[in-house]
Structure 1
Amino acid sequence: MCGIYGQTGKAPFADTRALCSARDTMLHRGPDAAGEWLSSDRQVFLAHRRLSILDLSELANQPMSDASGQFVIVFNGEIYNYLDIRNELVELGYSFRSQSDTEVVLQSYRQWGRDCVSRFNGMFAFAIYDCSRQEIFLARDRAGEKPLYYSNHAGVFCFASELKAIMSRSDFTREIEPEALDCYLNFGYVPGELCILRHVSKLSPAHAMLYRRSDGLCRVWRYWSPPEAPLVSEQASAVDEQALLEEFEEILCDSVKRQLVADVPVGVLLSGGIDSSLVTAMAVRSSNRVKTFNVRFPGYGSHDETEHARLVAGHFATDHIELAAGDTTPELLPRLAAQYDEPINDSSMIPTFLVCQLVRQHCTVALGGDGGDELFGGYPGYSYFSHMDELMVHVPTTLRRIIGSISEKFLPVGLKGRNWFMSADIDFSSEVPKSLLLFEKSARERLLPGLHAGYAERLWRERTAFQTNLVERYTRTDFANYMAEDILVKVDRASMLNSIEMRAPFLDYRMIEFAYGKVPAFLKADARQKKIFLKKAARRLLPEKLDIQRKQGFSIPLQQWLRQPEWKNAIHDVLLASAGIFSRSEVKKLLRDSCSLINNAERLFALTLFELWRRHYGISLPNS
């Protein structure tokens, strides 16, 4: 895993020290080596920070040029099928100087051009400069595991793995993009190509881009989409479950086998849940010495799954290591706010960071179970809203609209069940409820007077998957939004801050295509249960004594923390400071309305992280 940076403009670079400083804002992404490349006309600069995973020699350092010197690459990620592609290229007459997957990507571009990206099975974000055509080709993996920001403004084009590198430019104006802020306050993240800062965009997952220096043209296109849902009836007898389970097992086994390949120590994060346990089950088929890690958090009580992880590890005879995290204090928040340089509202970034910090002491690469919930219907909302859909069929549309309207106007923000009641008036045949809604339109307008709220709702409708089945629509929408913009961002930034590479076997594109193209929705979730298919797989592959029906999922006791003086004072100091941008009266109301039935902890966390981030980087509001 690495950090990449590139910049080009109309004038030659007289000095590259500032450009190297931009690269080095991402030192944590690549502590092992650093490199830079400057074109002969001194107008194109590429830079790289390396975390050595494959081929630890200097031959694999970047930026990397081909033998002719025409093509230069900076690459972040891993290509899990690189040996297959390498062998194919060797048969075509190509030779290689290193054993790295980076060189395979570079030679693939020479052979197949822009179409090469469709051949890669992995997580990646990379840029290749063609010195002859004076074009930069950029691409990002299908799920969005690896980040890529870019800016094309005022005659300067630049790109980076993290936003902080772009912000380091002395000529860059750090100003909020209002539409992105509207989305953050609604979703808790900034979706799609939007970025929290003006004049910056994200290259969306499964997209590629071409920048042409001659006229500054930027062309972006999608190179991959999830397959259409299977055309099957809602009857189990119409589906060969046995065949599906066998295919699932075959894909996951091969995915894990490929992702265990590294020239540094590799482990598996074993929480004791279904997803990570299945990864462990496949890992022991490919290696006779698998290291598994489980991290305990003191005071988590019912959230502690140590015994379940120990059961799975014992069953598969892994080299199991149990680690204990220390107490968590609010002093960690400014560090995380600085690292998540495009804010997300996910308090589980705290335990994720601590897990990565502990596991990094033992290995450089770790496999996890991310993606299983979105692909196979693992979130509680899939079942809840399926049940709600069944009920609402019998409720007149007018009454549903009244329920939704009254809930929004009269029920206090944070009241348990408020978001569910507000969802009563949605069209379950075409829409997706927002169970994780932070602030609705009216609340956002009160919280930040002057914000023209409403863009988030329009964008949500545009980004909702077009599927007739609710579960199919919901899981695909989460895959493209919540997973890509929250879950994977959280994991990437937390792991990279600790210089550890996280891999996700469930996000092998073959597994994604299998889940969405072959497994019918009724085998994912219904009104009574969730994760149906994976539980069937678990009964085949995991220990019989493992309780796969238990309530799973990891969260921190944030509401309890915010009642403690240390945390409460820290939140107060940030949100009620004179420099704060949010309405003090609305913030005080959120702080005051806290009891067993009202929980605004996540909302307060979202506002606090945003303010810490804004102040750390000196971000201004438009026209401020």
Structure 2
Amino acid sequence: MCGLIGIASRTRVENRDWLTKGRDAMSHRGPDDAGEWWSKDFRVGLGHRRLAIIDLSEKGHQPMVDDGKRITVVFNGEIYNYSELRSNLIAKNFVFQSHSDTEVLLNAYAAWGENCLSHIEGMFSFAIYDDKEKKIFLARDRAGEKPMYYRLNEGVLEFSSELKGLLENPDNPRQVDFTALDCYLTMGYVPGEHCILNGYKKLPPSHAMTFRLSDGLVKTWEYWSIPEMSSRTERAACNKDELLDELESLLEESVSRQMCADVPVGVLLSGGLDSSLVTAMAVRHSDKIQTFSVGFPGYGDLDETAHARLIADHFGTTHLELTAEATTADLIPRLACQFDEPMADSSMIPTWLVTNLVRQHCTVALGGDGGDELFGGYPQYSRLLWMEKRSSMFPTSIRQLLSRSAGAILPTGFRGKNYIQAFEVDLKRDLSTHIDGLFDNSTRRKLMSGYTSYTTVADEIYRQRTPPTSDLLQRATRMDFRNYLAEDILVKVDRASMLNSLEVRAPFLDRKLVEFAFAKVPSNLKAIESDKKILLKLLADRILPPQFHKQRKQGFSIPLARWLKSGPFRDLFWETLTGSNCVFDRSTIIKLFKGLDRGFNNGERLFALTQFELWRQHYNMKL
């Protein structure tokens, strides 16, 4: 796990000092080593910070150049099938100087060019400069575990693992993009290629890009996509037991491959179903597994340490628990600076806390991310199925009246408002931003009432990104895989863990497992109105202790609403959002606080606004 940065230009780059500064702004991503490389004509520059995981020697140094001086690579992530690829490349007469997966990637490009993407398995973002072709080749992994930001302007391409690297260039603008901001205030994250800053973009997951130095031509393409569900006949041929056998085999294989490292490896054990299954598979391949969890004394409904301890005791792991208190409010400004785009997910706090603990004992940790999206684990999936069945009982005009009345009458944060507003959506072919939305159109306009050029466009962007699949559960899980998982969950884990120089891996996001879940597992083995994660629970019956409570849905969470009643969290949020520098409408902010005090569900909403303001003020972003 590392950090990379680079620039490619049609002409000689004169301002080169910022590249070093941008690289070192990400020193948390790679405290073990730093490198920088420039082409002879100074049109291409690459920088790298290294967190040594595979081949800890200096032979793994980056940027890495091949023997022929034609190909130079900077790489962030892990290639899990690097040993297999290395053997294949040796058979093709490639010679290796190291045992690093970076050199495997370098030679894979030399052997197969851009088609190397079809050979590599793992989490990654990388940049390869091909001196013969005079082009830069960028790519991101299939699920989007590793980030890549870029800015293309007047024949110059700049790119970086984190946005803060590009901001070290004093010539780069700092203007908030209103389209991205509207998406953030609606969804809690900025989706797809959009970026919170005007003039910048993200390379989406499973996409690649080339930039040609001769004429500045840019080509972007999707090299992998979620497979379609197999036909009804093919699904019928796979019975429940066969699917369960295949799931167990694929998960065990993925965990085994992802435990490969030249440093200690642990497991983030929340006590939930996904991380417990990962732990069960990990102990099949090592008798020295360390597990870690975080607890909140005094908040019994959120304290999962007893459940994590059950799994740890059953499988005989070395288990450590972190105790978290409400005094962690001082983390909020630090995390706001670390997250390149604000994100409305307060679980970044316990994620940082537990990764900070783990880093004292391990350099690599396995997590359970991806299980909910692949196997139907979120509560809203069952609610959507319930709504789909009953919405057809009411005429469209009645559903629209109920939805719009709720939007006009019920205050923000009133429990159930989002679902009533979503009632008008035709769930036979669409989804609704309201289900998990932060602010509806009316509230967003009020929050941004001081900016006449602000328009509400996020709902249409959401609709455009909604998969056309007719099956509601398939549509919802695919939507979450490409949006919520990629832009919230994986961003949270990457930024929080990398701030602690810890590499977190996600066995559920192995390509074979993803393709299995979407192409083979029917919806009724994922979620129904009365149950969810059905196939994973069947696997739990096989391999987890009988006392394990399968119906719980809990990850690393915090009692945010209670912390915001009074004390350091309340003070920080209030001072940030009611201060004279805040861009949001003060009267709307005060209503949100009053609603919170009345028991409305406004904690995450206030967290989202506070995150944005702390980030904006720290980096001096303009609206």
| TM-score strictly above 0.5 | yes
Cα shift readout 1:412-436 (whole Å, capped 9, x = no counterpart)? 1110000010010001111113322
Structure 1 residues 171, 350: CA separation in 2 closer, same or farther (over 3 Å shift)?
A: same
User: Corresponding residue for 1:218?
Assistant: 218
Tell me, which stretches of 5 or more residues in structure 2 are unaligned?
Answer: none
Aligned equivalent of 1:472, options 468, 471, 474: 474
Q: CA deviation at 1:373?
A: 0.2
The alignment partner of 1:330 has SS state of helix
Q: Quick one: which amino acid aligns to residue 565 of structure 1?
A: G
Q: Quick one: which amino acid aligns to residue 545 of structure 1?
A: Q
Structure 1 residues 237, 18: CA separation in 2 closer, same or farther (over 3 Å shift)?
A: closer
User: Corresponding residue for 1:343?
Assistant: 342
User: Corresponding residue for 1:511?
Assistant: 513
- Aligned equivalents of 2:68 and 2:371: distance in 1? 43
- Is the Cα contact below 8 Å between 1:34 and 1:49 reproduced in 2? yes
User: Corresponding residue for 2:318?
Assistant: 319
Q: CA deviation at 1:601?
A: 1.3
In the TM superposition, 1:38-53 aligns within 5 A as: 38-53=38-53
Q: CA deviation at 1:532?
A: 0.8
Tell me, which stretches of 5 or more residues in structure 1 are unaligned?
Answer: none
- Aligned equivalents of 2:584 and 2:292: distance in 1? 41
Which moves more between the two structures, 241-250 or 556-565?
A: 556-565
Q: Does 1:400 align with 2:399?
A: yes
Q: CA deviation at 1:451?
A: 4.6
Q: Quick one: which amino acid aligns to residue 374 of structure 1?
A: E
User: Corresponding residue for 2:248?
Assistant: 249
Q: Does 1:546 align with 2:548?
A: yes
- Aligned equivalents of 1:407 and 1:508: distance in 2? 42
- Aligned equivalents of 1:572 and 1:596: distance in 2? 16
User: Corresponding residue for 1:285?
Assistant: 284
In the TM superposition, 1:95-494 aligns within 5 A as: 95-232=95-232, 239-434=238-433, 435-449=435-449, 450-494=452-496
Which moves more between the two structures, 363-372 or 263-272?
A: 263-272
Q: Quick one: which amino acid aligns to residue 538 of structure 1?
A: A
User: Corresponding residue for 2:573?
Assistant: 571
Structure 1 residues 566, 191: CA separation in 2 closer, same or farther (over 3 Å shift)?
A: same
- Is the Cα contact below 8 Å between 2:448 and 2:454 reproduced in 1? no
Q: Quick one: which amino acid aligns to residue 406 of structure 2?
A: S
- Is the Cα contact below 8 Å between 1:325 and 1:358 reproduced in 2? no
- Is the Cα contact below 8 Å between 1:232 and 1:239 reproduced in 2? no
- Aligned equivalents of 1:253 and 1:516: distance in 2? 18
Aligned length: 620
Q: CA deviation at 1:596?
A: 5.0
The alignment partner of 2:327 has SS state of coil
Cα shift readout 1:221-278 (whole Å, capped 9, x = no counterpart)? 00000110133389x9875011101111111111000000101110011121110111
- Aligned equivalents of 1:588 and 1:316: distance in 2? 50
Structure 1 residues 237, 231: CA separation in 2 closer, same or farther (over 3 Å shift)?
A: closer
User: Corresponding residue for 1:36?
Assistant: 36
- Aligned equivalents of 1:569 and 1:308: distance in 2? 33
Q: CA deviation at 1:304?
A: 1.4
User: Corresponding residue for 1:90?
Assistant: 90
Q: Quick one: which amino acid aligns to residue 312 of structure 2?
A: A
Q: CA deviation at 1:26?
A: 0.2
Q: CA deviation at 1:10?
A: 4.3
- Aligned equivalents of 1:618 and 1:66: distance in 2? 41
Q: CA deviation at 1:329?
A: 3.3
Q: CA deviation at 1:327?
A: 4.1
The alignment partner of 1:582 has SS state of coil
Q: CA deviation at 1:557?
A: 1.3
The alignment partner of 2:479 has SS state of helix
Q: CA deviation at 1:326?
A: 4.5
Report the RMSD for the aligned CA atoms in angstroms: 1.5
Once superposed, which parts of structure 1, at least 4 consecutive aligned residues long, lie more than 4 Å away?
Answer: 236-239
- Is the Cα contact below 8 Å between 1:445 and 1:451 reproduced in 2? no
- Aligned equivalents of 1:231 and 1:328: distance in 2? 54
Query: Kindly, what percent of the aligned residue pairs are identical?
Result: 53
Q: CA deviation at 1:292?
A: 1.4
- Is the Cα contact below 8 Å between 1:416 and 1:597 reproduced in 2? no
The alignment partner of 2:35 has SS state of strand
The alignment partner of 1:293 has SS state of strand
Q: Quick one: which amino acid aligns to residue 446 of structure 2?
A: R
- Aligned equivalents of 2:223 and 2:177: distance in 1? 27
Structure 1 residues 554, 380: CA separation in 2 closer, same or farther (over 3 Å shift)?
A: farther
- Aligned equivalents of 2:269 and 2:206: distance in 1? 29
User: Corresponding residue for 1:523?
Assistant: 525
The alignment partner of 1:413 has SS state of coil
Which moves more between the two structures, 339-348 or 445-454?
A: 445-454
- Is the Cα contact below 8 Å between 1:561 and 1:567 reproduced in 2? yes
Cα shift readout 1:170-203 (whole Å, capped 9, x = no counterpart)? 1011001111111011111100000000111100
Cα shift readout 1:45-93 (whole Å, capped 9, x = no counterpart)? 0010000000000000100001100000000000000001110011111
- Is the Cα contact below 8 Å between 2:275 and 2:367 reproduced in 1? yes
Q: CA deviation at 1:502?
A: 0.2
Q: CA deviation at 1:94?
A: 0.6
- Aligned equivalents of 1:207 and 1:237: distance in 2? 33
- Is the Cα contact below 8 Å between 2:54 and 2:101 reproduced in 1? yes
Q: Quick one: which amino acid aligns to residue 205 of structure 2?
A: P
- Aligned equivalents of 1:327 and 1:428: distance in 2? 40
Which moves more between the two structures, 569-578 or 596-605?
A: 596-605
Q: Quick one: which amino acid aligns to residue 577 of structure 2?
A: L
- Aligned equivalents of 1:62 and 1:551: distance in 2? 41
Structure 1 residues 563, 326: CA separation in 2 closer, same or farther (over 3 Å shift)?
A: closer
- Is the Cα contact below 8 Å between 2:326 and 2:563 reproduced in 1? no
Which moves more between the two structures, 262-271 or 297-306?
A: 297-306
- Is the Cα contact below 8 Å between 2:402 and 2:423 reproduced in 1? yes
The alignment partner of 2:454 has SS state of coil
Which moves more between the two structures, 129-138 or 11-20?
A: 11-20
TM-score w.r.t. length of structure 1: 0.97
- Is the Cα contact below 8 Å between 2:289 and 2:317 reproduced in 1? yes
- Aligned equivalents of 2:4 and 2:543: distance in 1? 40
- Is the Cα contact below 8 Å between 1:230 and 1:519 reproduced in 2? no
- Is the Cα contact below 8 Å between 1:292 and 1:313 reproduced in 2? yes
- Aligned equivalents of 2:538 and 2:233: distance in 1? 20
- Aligned equivalents of 1:23 and 1:474: distance in 2? 38
Cα shift readout 1:477-508 (whole Å, capped 9, x = no counterpart)? 00000000000000000000000000000000
Aligned equivalent of 1:558, options 543, 556, 560: 560
Q: Does 1:25 align with 2:53?
A: no
- Aligned equivalents of 1:345 and 1:160: distance in 2? 23
Which moves more between the two structures, 201-210 or 439-448?
A: 439-448
- Aligned equivalents of 2:245 and 2:22: distance in 1? 48
Structure 1 residues 362, 187: CA separation in 2 closer, same or farther (over 3 Å shift)?
A: same
Structure 1 residues 551, 94: CA separation in 2 closer, same or farther (over 3 Å shift)?
A: closer
- Is the Cα contact below 8 Å between 1:298 and 1:327 reproduced in 2? no
- Aligned equivalents of 1:421 and 1:230: distance in 2? 34
